[in-house]
Structure 1
Amino acid sequence: KGYMTAGAYADGALGEVFLKLGKQGSTLAGVMDAFSIAVSIGLQYGVPLETFVEKFTNLRFEPAGMTDDADIRMAQSMMDYIFRRLALDYLPFEQRSSMGLYTAAERAAALDNGGEYAPVAVADTPKAPVLAVVPAVASKPVAVKIEAAAPAMTIGSSSDLLESMGIKSDAPLCMTCGVKMRMSGACFVCEGCGNTSGCS
């Protein structure tokens, strides 16, 4: 478990990065602190973020694999994930596009546009709706019939839980997004992205 905190200048450019990983005092925590300081000093002395992203993305070492970040489903290492995330958050679309880094929304829009990638505007937070004052109306009592519910199925393992949701416990992982697929007829389908296991 780790944390990344990034600080930006007033113009939105990345200025510093803090990485907290591992137990305080461990070798990993110390190395990540030192690395954070080195990257931050580089950024403050004019090294473009794009240079760091080019050098540290696709760097492969363990731990690697799936993440819970919708924009970056698979990472080849911690460095790969960290600099992909920084690129998505701080680099303009044109620079990210030249490196093949797109958000999930941009990839989804490209599917709709026939493979043409374009920047996707991030929606502003919606404003709270204005509520109208409605006069109170006298309510009438309503009869409610309560019946006992059927006993719930006992779930004793993760396999039981998956099968109660209609997902076979031995189902494969989706090759596109990494979500466990569910049975659909004779094939498997991914509920995350809609990919199938080969049948249509």
Structure 2
Amino acid sequence: MILIADDDPVVREVVRRYLERDGLSVLETGDGASAAAALAEHGAEIELAVLDVMMPAPDGIELCKSVRSGPRPDTPIILLTALGDEDDRVIGLEAGADDYVTKPFSPRELALRVASVLRRARPQGDAAREVLRDGMIEVRPAARLALIDGAAVELTPREFDLLEFLLRHPREVFSREDLLAKVWGWEFGDLSTVTVHIKRLRAKLADHHRIETVWGRGYAWGR
């Protein structure tokens, strides 16, 4: 089930139609309070939440923060924002959003973003059954679980995707454009998305991370 929380009924209706066309079930709410209640009641069924930054309180950013500190912190979140300034988008990413789409937007683009996040949250095949290790870090793709010395680390879906990708490609240098394409599945987009996720991942892994900045080129794991 996909939760759409936006105070504009036209936006909800159009997005719902596109997602249902892709075979997804949709739950609609028109404000932050209703969205919070839906997450509390249907949290186990909600695979992804699309939250409007400017909806009535709590707004999308505050609700995103609440989810990240709640009982299901790994719920994928896409923010809808009419704010075009890069600093405002960074605030949303730092609040824990996995992705964002700026209004006005193409409903098909949003549906593709939803599909991309869901695809990465549903690992398949032999690669999903692997266990990746580096020092005290252990990543179990099938369970979407990251551990440090046996203790679980709470990562958002995109943070998990980024860590898994870097562990699979140690000592390789990737530009922000590379990571945007390979981890997010975007051919173009705001490069600050990558910068913020690298920053958050480093903070959560603390002294155990081996993400290096290769000046002028990008990032690498343990060069």
TM > 0.5? no
- Greater CA radius of gyration, 1 or 2? 1
Q: Which has the higher strand share?
A: 2
Give TM-score scaled by structure 1 length. 0.32
